[in-house]
Structure 1
Amino acid sequence: MIIIVDALNKDRFGDLLDEMFKLRARVFGDRLGWEVEIIDGREIDQFDRLDPAYVIGLDDEGHVVSCVRALQTTGPHMLSDVFQVLLDGEPPLRSATLWESTRFCVDTQRLCRDGNTMKAVSMATCELMIGSLEYARRSGISDIITVIDPVVNRVLKRSDNAPYDYVGSTKQMGKVPAMAALLDCTEERINRVRAFAGITHDVFASEDAVRDLLTARHLAESGRVTAPSDWSAMILSDAQEPLPTVLVEDIQDYCRAQIEAARTEEERADALRLVGVLVREGIHPALHQVVFQN
């Protein structure tokens, strides 16, 4: 599932962004050996401070498994300020309808755990491509320029999503070479990727559904409740199967603490939504008391 995190909702999804920055550190710093700044296990650069849009892919448990960053080319961006060597002295392309896509990565380690095959990686990659292109198209972006390595270039070609042109030339960047490629954000391109991957469903999840999934995941990780393997399906599809047996008092205490700790109306609404999810899934009617007492 895909969610867009940008300047409008980043305060609500700070936990997702934090996990995404950790994934980027593992991929670009550790695996690819790029010269990126990593602080406290997170890869964050100056362009992340410009309020870009992030297209983030999640697995069924709510973990970040893929991501890519979209940034306008009318201001500072990587190709104009960091990778200008790729342009061979030519000025960077700038247009309100041309956005830069960078930091495309997939968590192959998580996706291939427990005996899963590379098919999961391929599906996550294609879903991220579809999400990126559909987000761009509906935002009025006609083209994407992206800095990629030859591996990603081959992935794009294999998925029937080959760049229609390249800018400048390929140069060595860290352990791998890099190049600047151009992709159009047309419906035809999106349909080709969908056909290749066999993806016909809407890849985007609603913000509320993702927030519910993340809250449930954090609750499970805190040790308060054991999450079932199909937790996301229960939340995203409004399934009515009961959750595992837990101590209702613990859940009440947790929910009450979340409501009392809320600093804004949005945080309070998220906490109350969690109560609604747990009541709907059949934890115990007594959870209504948490709402009535607050």
Structure 2
Amino acid sequence: MILVIDAINKDKHGAVLEDMFRLRARVFADRLGWDVQIRDGMEMDAFDALDPAYLVGLDEEDRVVSCVRLLQTTGPHMLSDIFSDILQGEPPMRAPTLWESTRFCVDTDRLSTQDRGHGSVARATSELMCGTLEFAQRSGISDIITVIDPVMNRVLKRSDNAPYGYVGNIVQMGKTKALAALLDTTDERINRLRAFAGIEGSVFVDEEALIARMARRAQPAPQKAAIAPDVLAQYCLEQLSAAQSEQDMNAALNLAQAVLGARQHDGTSPPQADIPYGTGYRH
């Protein structure tokens, strides 16, 4: 399921954002070898300070498995300021209804075998693409320009979500290459992608239910009430006094040795009690 995080609700999802930035570090720095900034195991850059919209994919245990970042093209964005080599000297495309999609990644190590989806495209990938298109459409965004690598370009084509055009040229970026592709947010594209992945119903998470689940997980586990040492000692003495057979006596002695011995070992036992010999079992 997809969680949308923006400037309005980001304070409610600090833990999710941290996990998202850690996923980005594993993918873009470790796997792809891009020259990105890593701090405390998280990948962040100057564009994350511009209050972009993030779409974060969560698995059934609410763990981050995918993410993407959306930025307006009317201000600073990666294609105009970082990946400008792709444009080969041409001015960047700018429009209020054209937004940039970057930092699309999926945690392939965390996906289950049941999540491999159709045609080797993971369901988490299709769900994130679908969520991105639907969020953009309902936000008045007609087109998305996305900086991707050739692998992601093939994924888009395999999932019946092929770009309708490309901008500039392919350039080297770390261990791989980068290119800029154009996607519209029409119903036709969304329906094709949903049909390919077999997605029915909403792909977006119930945010209030998610917040409640996360709050429950953050609560400390209830601690069992400690049994006072004198209560344990009294119980052992009662078992010894009540012994009616040699078997009962041996069991009571073993219990006393195990319980009181453990208390003495950790320094919490009361003064050693004498075993009453005037009551209970006799040899």
Does TM, normalized by the shorter one, top 0.5?
Answer: yes
Report the residue type matching 1:196 in the other structure: F
Q: Could you say which structure has the larger radius of gyration?
A: 2
State how far apart, in whole Å, the 1-side matches of 2:66 and 2:215 are: 20
State how far apart, in whole Å, the 1-side matches of 2:114 and 2:191 are: 27
State how far apart, in whole Å, the 2-side matches of 1:207 and 1:57 are: 13
Q: CA deviation at 1:209?
A: 1.3
User: Is the 8 Å Cα contact of residues 134 and 190 (structure 2) preserved in structure 1?
Assistant: yes
Could you say which residue in structure 1 is the equivalent of 2:2?
Answer: 2
Partner residue of 1:119 out of 102, 108, 117: 117
**Are the structure 2 counterparts of residues 106 and 217 from structure 1 closer, same or farther at C-alpha, using a change threshold of 3 Å?**
farther
Gaps of 5+ in 2: 226-283
Could you say which residue in structure 1 is the equivalent of 2:57?
Answer: 57
What are the superposed Cα offsets for residues 189-217 of structure 1, whole Å, 9 maximum, x if unpaired? Answer: 00000000000121011210111232234
State how far apart, in whole Å, the 1-side matches of 2:188 and 2:141 are: 15
Aligned-pair identity in percent equals 64
State how far apart, in whole Å, the 2-side matches of 1:216 and 1:32 are: 36
Report the residue type matching 1:83 in the other structure: F
TM-score by length of 1: 0.73
| Map 1:207-222 → 2, pairs under 5 A | 207-219=207-219
Aligned length: 223
User: Is the 8 Å Cα contact of residues 69 and 102 (structure 2) preserved in structure 1?
Assistant: yes
State how far apart, in whole Å, the 2-side matches of 1:215 and 1:29 are: 31
Quote the RMSD (CA, aligned, Å). 1.7
Instruction: Give 3-state SS (helix, strand or coil) of 1:57's partner.
Output: strand
State how far apart, in whole Å, the 2-side matches of 1:35 and 1:102 are: 15
User: Is the 8 Å Cα contact of residues 25 and 38 (structure 1) preserved in structure 2?
Assistant: yes
User: Is the 8 Å Cα contact of residues 130 and 194 (structure 1) preserved in structure 2?
Assistant: yes
**Are the structure 2 counterparts of residues 88 and 131 from structure 1 closer, same or farther at C-alpha, using a change threshold of 3 Å?**
same
* Structure with the larger helix share: 1
What are the superposed Cα offsets for residues 28-49 of structure 1, whole Å, 9 maximum, x if unpaired? Answer: 0000000100011000000000
Gaps of 5+ in 1: 225-245, 250-294
Instruction: Give 3-state SS (helix, strand or coil) of 2:110's partner.
Output: helix
Could you say which residue in structure 2 is the equivalent of 1:26?
Answer: 26
Instruction: Give 3-state SS (helix, strand or coil) of 1:145's partner.
Output: strand
Could you say which residue in structure 2 is the equivalent of 1:260?
Answer: none
State how far apart, in whole Å, the 1-side matches of 2:25 and 2:172 are: 19
State how far apart, in whole Å, the 2-side matches of 1:126 and 1:117 are: 10
State how far apart, in whole Å, the 2-side matches of 1:136 and 1:129 are: 11
| Map 1:64-75 → 2, pairs under 5 A | 64-75=64-75
What are the superposed Cα offsets for residues 149-187 of structure 1, whole Å, 9 maximum, x if unpaired? Answer: 000000000000000000000011000000000000111
